[in-house]
Structure formats: structure tokens, C-alpha cells
Amino acid sequence: MKTAVSVPDDVFDRAELLAKQLKLNRSQLFSRALAEFVSRHAPEEVTDALNRVCAELADERDEFTLHAASRTLSRSAW
């Protein structure tokens, strides 16, 4: 989608320099930057991804990890 935004001159200049360093065009740089910003402010997406991974691994029992976790937790002041 094409859009127009206003940014301060100093931010624009730094973005131009970074785009050149990364060999990206301005649109690619701004798109990546915005995607990263959005993902950092959507913690529920991270939680959902971790929950999916945990659900996939829930059936696998690793006795070493269970024992190590148990020992670690027993020594922790909770």
C-alpha cells in the first residue's frame, strides 16, 4: 500500500543513511522498521507463538530437563 508520512528531517536523514548502508530502498527500510515496531508492541503475538510451541512439545517428556528444572526450582527462593 502506498502512503505518505511526515518525519523530522534528522530522522529522515538517518534513515536514508541506514538504507544505503543496508542496501535497501527507502520503502523497504520504512516497511521493515514499521513491522518491527508493530511486533514489539504486540506482546500477545509473542505469547501466542510461545503457547503454540509449548503445545507442540507438551507430549514430549525429557527426563533430564525435568530433573534439572526441579533441582533449580527447589533451590530458588520463591
The pLDDT score that the predictor gives to residue 76 is 78
pLDDT tens for 6-50 read 999 999 999 999 999 999 999 999 999 999 998 888 878 878 888
Closest CA to 19 of 38, 73, 7: 7
Query: How far is residue 12's CA from residue 20's CA, in Å, rounded to a whole number?
Result: 12
Write down the pTM of the prediction.
0.55
C-alpha 42/C-alpha 30 separation (Å) is 18
What DSSP assignment string belongs to 9-67? HHHHHHHHHHHHHHT--HHHHHHHHHHHHHHHT-HHHHHHHHHHHHHHHTT---HHHHH
pLDDT of residue 78: 64
Domain ranges for the chain: 9-74
